[in-house]
């Protein structure tokens, strides 16, 4: 019988869960709002309930469970160091809570790392040995696939591309530093920069979709914001190209929808700063899996027998 695992992708607003087989087919999926305010135990309980629903509808026995979490964490034990966008998890032994709740073999991974694994397995960086995946959402997430494997670093915190400094005395960042890429190239930052330039956006809109709509409708200030974000991203990625010499850079997340506006300035900035030889064969491509990248990456980790 084909292997089936349970996967979950925990976001700041939504929890998504699915039963996935070894070909990457989603056999069943469900979702629920993330409990906020809440406790780590309440979130673990909801994850457990969605996992039970997925197991009951998977059509095959599933004993492994991969969970993508928006946090810097220790993947070996699921301990959360810090979750800037879901701070209720800070300091929790989240993997233990979910293991106790579900009785399944648990793997917990950073959500951007999971997205990188998903895109490498089934998406835009499939077939490459060395790739970077950058997710432009509420923050800027990053994941490194080196020699075909996720690079986690010595304690599991590697890949935080969003916290590369691009402005020495720039805006304060949730990580405690200032001038991080995340403050200039996330979907949140794109909306902020558009408002600063007088672009009128719907009340409460915090992502880049409304800015893109304004740009497509001919608002030059809105279009210029994507150029600025792309140049900051190109600046950070040029340094990474010089250090890591990847074959592909995959750009995903909500802001990637504005690909036509920022891929040009991004490539121009990158090529003007990085060494020539590593940029010649480099592909800078849009992510293919959309919102499912993290979910499928979490499934892949569970299929590979990560966790405990
Ligand atoms: Zn930062």
How many Cα atoms within 13 Å fall on the side-chain side of residue 166?
A: 23
Nearest to 31 by CA among 48, 45, 20, 18: 18
Ligand 1 centroid distance, CA of 159 (Å): 12
pLDDT of residue 174: 84
Q: What is the Cα–Cα distance from 211 to 206, expressed in whole angstroms? A: 10
Ligand 1 centroid distance, CA of 148 (Å): 27
Ligand 1 centroid distance, CA of 93 (Å): 23
Asked if pLDDT for residue 308 goes beyond 60, the answer is no
Residue labelled with tokens 């293919």: 288
**Cβ proximity of 82 and 28 under 8 Å:** no
pLDDT, tens digit, 9 for 90 and up, residues 71-91: 999 888 889 999 888 999 999
Helix (H, G, I), strand (E, B) or coil at 177: coil
Ligand 1 centroid distance, CA of 134 (Å): 15
- Predicted TM-score (pTM) above 0.75: yes
For 114, phi and psi rounded to 5 degrees? -65, -40
Ligand 1 centroid distance, CA of 155 (Å): 19
Ligand 1 centroid distance, CA of 166 (Å): 10
What's the length of the chain?
308
Ligand 1 centroid distance, CA of 162 (Å): 7
pLDDT, tens digit, 9 for 90 and up, residues 9-62: 999 889 999 999 999 999 999 999 999 888 999 999 999 999 999 999 998 899
Ligand 1 centroid distance, CA of 22 (Å): 36
Asked if pLDDT for residue 2 goes beyond 80, the answer is no
pLDDT of residue 15: 96
Ligand 1 centroid distance, CA of 163 (Å): 4
Strand 105-110 relative to strand 64-69, pairing = parallel
pLDDT of residue 36: 86
Ligand 1 centroid distance, CA of 254 (Å): 19
Q: What is the Cα–Cα distance from 170 to 72, expressed in whole angstroms? A: 23
Burial of 199 (0-12, 13-18, 19+ CB in 10 A): buried
Q: Express as a percent the part of the chain with pLDDT over 70.
A: 98
Ligand 1 centroid distance, CA of 102 (Å): 34
pLDDT of residue 65: 97
Asked if pLDDT for residue 1 goes beyond 60, the answer is no
């Amino acid at each position: 019988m084909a292997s089936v695992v349970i996967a979950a992708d925990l976001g700041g607003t939504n929890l998504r869960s699915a039963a996935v087989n070894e070909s990457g087919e989603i056999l069943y999926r469900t979702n629920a709002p993330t409990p906020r305010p809440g406790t780590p135990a309440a979130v673990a309980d909801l994850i457990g309930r969605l996992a039970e629903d997925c197991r009951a509808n998977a059509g095959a026995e599933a004993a492994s469970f991969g969970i993508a979490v928006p946090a810097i964490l220790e993947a070996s034990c699921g301990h959360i160091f810090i979750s800037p966008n879901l701070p209720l998890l800070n300091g929790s032994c989240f993997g233990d809570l979910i293991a106790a709740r579900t009785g399944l073999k648990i793997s917990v991974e950073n959500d951007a790392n999971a997205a990188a694994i998903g895109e490498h397995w089934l998406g835009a960086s499939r077939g490459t040995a060395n790739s970077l995946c950058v997710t432009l959402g509420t923050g800027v997430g990053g994941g490194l696939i080196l020699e075909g494997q996720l690079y986690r670093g010595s304690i599991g915190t590697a890949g935080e591309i969003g916290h590369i400094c691009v402005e020495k005395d720039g805006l304060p960042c949730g990580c405690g530093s200032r001038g991080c890429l995340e403050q200039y190239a996330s979907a949140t930052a794109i909306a902020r920069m558009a408002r600063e330039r007088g672009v009128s956006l719907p009340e409460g809109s915090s992502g880049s979709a409304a800015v893109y709509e304004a740009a497509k409708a001919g608002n030059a200030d809105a279009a210029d914001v994507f150029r600025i974000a792309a140049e900051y991203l190109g600046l950070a990625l040029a340094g990474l190209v010089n250090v890591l010499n990847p074959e592909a850079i995959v750009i995903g997340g909500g802001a990637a929808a504005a690909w036509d506006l920022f891929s040009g300035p991004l490539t121009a900035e990158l090529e003007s700063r990085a060494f020539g030889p590593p940029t010649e064969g480099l592909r800078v491509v849009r992510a293919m899996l959309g919102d499912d990248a993290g979910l499928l990456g979490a499934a892949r980790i569970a299929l590979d027998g990560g966790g405990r």
